[in-house]
């Protein structure tokens, strides 16, 4: 498999550091609200990498963190006074205050909903979902180690800061050189007087006395972790000092991943992450999804509109992960009918004698996934295969069923199900239907309504269409 490596700015082969086993760390959700479809696009990226690697015979270990503390409402991280210390600055605490619940009640509720959304999109569960609030000891050890090695110091306000200048590789991931981050250059703001240098960031924050939740006692006083600290601590603890692939949305490249890289590399003395892979952002109806524009779309919104959540997965597959994508309801409706059509085709093809897969097409689709997840090309090739008169239905069935391990679209879910139109209606229902057709022809609306109620009661609701009444089965 080849993937676009953000640091190297090139598509490169991904070779596991341990033969046969690929380790992947995926930045997970901040659990203070439902994940929107943009977040889901990024979470799908990890699943596609995993399925592609598994298809190659690798065993894949995915770790995805749950951020339930430390993610600030303002996380621009541009080296200024952007990192508060009170309740209102932490996303989870702010939501807890709004909903009148405790921070952990909020966090566990949204975490559980995150898992339900992943399942709805056929995203395989990770091997581990470490929670930041339960990994504080790991973070304390990491911070102590960084201090011992001269990469961190206690600042003027009692918080512990990472010394950005102590890591020569700083900026390799995002292209932000330390000087560029100076206030006034790209960012108008004041430097936090507690830190020694404008680009340093807090590993551990001293809490205000008023903060009562999500605080821990440490050698540096009562406080809470900075957001970037958790990902270094948890990834090193669960995956060790070499991680093959690290994923996240493009916005995390800076400061989150740049800072995480500095922390992890300085703690271990090695370049921990071999490949940083970022997914581009999703727009909805042409705009950035945000609460203030009122266009935040959730998986549940698709379900409310009668769409299969896997239509979202297919719509994502029709675009390459590292291109910005504009999702619309129209695209989703089209993807939904394409999935339905494919499932019907598979159900039909499955009734034909099985034949060997068209090896070339299958190999090409796999090669497209291997080629930096060129999923749009893979989908068009499958559409050609669908229509190809030279390939037998039995062979098409085998190919689609096999490749669904990569696609994850439940394409064989209708196989074996009798097509609805073929099952005959009970005589009684037929009789009621013709009586109703007669009543409608005679403009006897109350008679027609009464007959509809009777049909309804028998479990055969009808609707009236321009082509006449139709039974809903
Ligand atoms: P959060 O829950 O806000 O920490 O974000 C979870 C993941 O979703 C991160 O990897 C983000 O980079 C990613 N993300 C946020 N917004 C979008 C978007 N509009 N499109 C794609 N990914 C996004
Ligand atoms: Zn992270």
- Cβ contact 355:398 at 8 Å: yes
- What pLDDT score was predicted for residue 81? 35
* DSSP 8-state class, residue 183: B
Which-ligand-closest: CA of 257? Answer: 2
Contacts of 235 (CB under 8 A, 6+ apart): 25, 63, 65, 243, 246, 260, 264, 272
Residue 250 Cα to ligand 1 middle (Å): 8
Q: Which residues contact 324 (CB under 8 A, 6 or more apart)?
A: 280, 281, 282, 283
Site to substitute for ligand 1 among 106, 251, 315, most atoms within 8 A of C-beta: 251
Return d(Cα 295, Cα 116) in angstroms, integer.
21
Which H helix or E strand runs over 55?
A: helix 37-55
Q: How far is the CA of 38 from the centre of ligand 1 (A)?
A: 6
| Ligand 2: centre distance to CA 436 (Å) | 62
Listing DSSP states for 311-332 in one string gives HHHHHHHTS-TTS-EEE-HHHH
Q: Which residues of 25-58 are buried (b: 16+ CB within 10 A; e: fewer)?
A: bbbbbbbbbbbbbbbbbbbbbbbbbbbbbebeeb
Q: Three-class SS of residue 471?
A: strand
Which atom of ligand 1 is closest in space to residue 71's alpha carbon?
Answer: 4
The confidence score (pLDDT) of residue 418 equals 67
| Cα–ligand 2 centroid distance for 71 (angstroms) | 10
| Dihedral (CA of 238, 243, 245, 249) sign | positive
Please name the residue whose Cα sits nearest to atom 8 of ligand 1.
Answer: 39
CA atoms within 13 A of residue 417's CA, in its CB half-sphere? 13
Query: Measured in angstroms, how far is the CA atom of residue 119 from the centroid of ligand 1?
Result: 18
Contact 461, 471 (CB under 8 A): yes
- How far apart, in whole angstroms, are the C-alpha atoms of residue 355 and residue 386? 15
- CA torsion sign for 285, 287, 290, 291 is negative
Ligand nearest to the CA of 114: 1
pLDDT of residue 465: 74
Place of tokens 């239907």: 433
DSSP helix/strand/coil, 265: helix
How high is the pLDDT of residue 293? Answer: 83
Distance CA 41, CA 412 (A): 23
**Ligand 2 midpoint to CA 458 (Å):** 55
Closest CA to 44 of 115, 124, 116, 107: 124
Residue 233: other Cβ atoms inside 10 A: 28
pLDDT at 463: 82
Task: Report the chain's C-alpha Rg in angstroms.
Answer: 27
Among all bound ligands, the one having the nearest atom to the CA of 249 is 1
DSSP conformation class of 83: -
Question: Does residue 202 contact residue 210 with C-beta atoms inside 8 Å?
Answer: no
Residues less than 5 Å from ion ligand 2, measured at CB: 27, 231
Q: 368 C-alpha to center of ligand 2: Å?
A: 28
Atom of ligand 1 nearest to the CA of 249: 12
pLDDT of residue 25: 98
Q: From CA 264, how far away is CA 67, in angstroms rounded?
A: 18
Give the atom of ligand 1 at the shortest distance from the alpha carbon of 283.
19
**Measuring from each residue's beta carbon to the nearest atom of ligand 1, which residues come in under 6 Å?**
27, 29-30, 38-39, 41-42, 248-249, 251-252, 279, 281-282, 289
Q: How far apart are the first and last CA of the chain?
A: 45
- pLDDT averaged per 10 residues in sequence order, the chain, 473 residues: 98 97 97 96 98 98 95 57 58 92 95 98 98 97 98 94 96 90 58 87 92 93 94 98 98 96 98 98 94 91 97 98 98 98 97 95 98 98 98 97 98 82 79 93 92 90 80 72
- Ligand showing the shortest atom-to-Cα distance for residue 288: 1
């Amino acid at each position: 498999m080849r993937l676009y490596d953000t640091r190297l700015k090139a598509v490169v082969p991904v070779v596991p550091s341990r033969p046969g086993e690929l380790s992947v760390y995926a930045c997970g959700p901040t659990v203070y609200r439902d994940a929107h479809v943009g977040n889901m696009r990024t979470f799908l990226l990890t699943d596609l990498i995993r399925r592609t690697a598994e298809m190659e015979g690798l065993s894949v270990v995915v770790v995805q963190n749950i951020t339930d503390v430390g993610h600030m409402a303002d996380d621009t991280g541009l080296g200024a006074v952007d990192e508060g210390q009170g309740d209102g600055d932490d996303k989870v605490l702010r939501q807890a205050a709004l909903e009148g619940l405790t921070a952990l009640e909020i966090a566990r509720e949204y975490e559980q909903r995150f898992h339900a959304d992943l399942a709805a999109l056929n995203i395989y569960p990770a091997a581990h979902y470490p929670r930041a609030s339960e990994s504080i000891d790991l973070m304390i050890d990491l911070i102590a180690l960084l201090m011992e090695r001269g990469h961190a110091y206690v600042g003027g306000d009692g918080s512990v800061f990472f010394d950005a200048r102590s890591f020569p590789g700083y900026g390799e991931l995002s292209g932000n050189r330390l000087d560029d981050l100076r206030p006034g250059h790209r960012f108008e703001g004041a430097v936090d007087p507690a830190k020694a240098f404008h680009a340093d960031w807090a590993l551990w924050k001293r809490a205000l006395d008023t903060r009562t939740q999500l605080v821990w006692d440490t050698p540096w006083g009562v406080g809470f972790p900075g957001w970037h600290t958790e990902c270094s601590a948890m990834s090193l603890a669960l995956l060790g000092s070499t991680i093959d692939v690290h994923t996240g949305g493009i916005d995390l490249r800076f400061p989150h991943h740049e800072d995480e890289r500095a922390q992890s590399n300085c703690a271990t003395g090695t370049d921990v992450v071999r490949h940083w892979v970022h997914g581009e952002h999703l727009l909805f109806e042409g705009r950035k999804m945000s609460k203030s524009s009122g266009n935040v779309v959730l998986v549940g919104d698709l379900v409310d509109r009668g769409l299969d959540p896997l239509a979202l997965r297919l719509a994502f597959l029709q675009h390459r992960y590292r291109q910005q994508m504009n999702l619309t309801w129209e695209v989703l409706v089209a993807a939904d009918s394409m999935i339905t059509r494919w499932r019907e085709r598979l159900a039909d093809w499955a009734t034909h004698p099985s034949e060997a897969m068209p090896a070339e097409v299958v190999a090409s689709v796999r090669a497209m996934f291997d080629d930096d997840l060129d999923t749009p090309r893979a989908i068009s090739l499958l559409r050609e295969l669908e229509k190809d008169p030279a390939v037998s239905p039995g062979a098409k069935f085998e190919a689609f069923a096999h490749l669904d391990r990569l696609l994850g679209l439940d394409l064989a879910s209708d196989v074996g199900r009798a097509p609805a139109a073929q099952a005959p209606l009970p005589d009684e229902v037929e009789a009621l239907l013709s009586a109703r057709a007669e009543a409608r022809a005679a403009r006897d609306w109350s008679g027609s309504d009464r007959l509809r109620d009777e049909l309804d009661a028998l479990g055969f609701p009808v609707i009236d269409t321009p082509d006449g009444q139709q039974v809903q089965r």
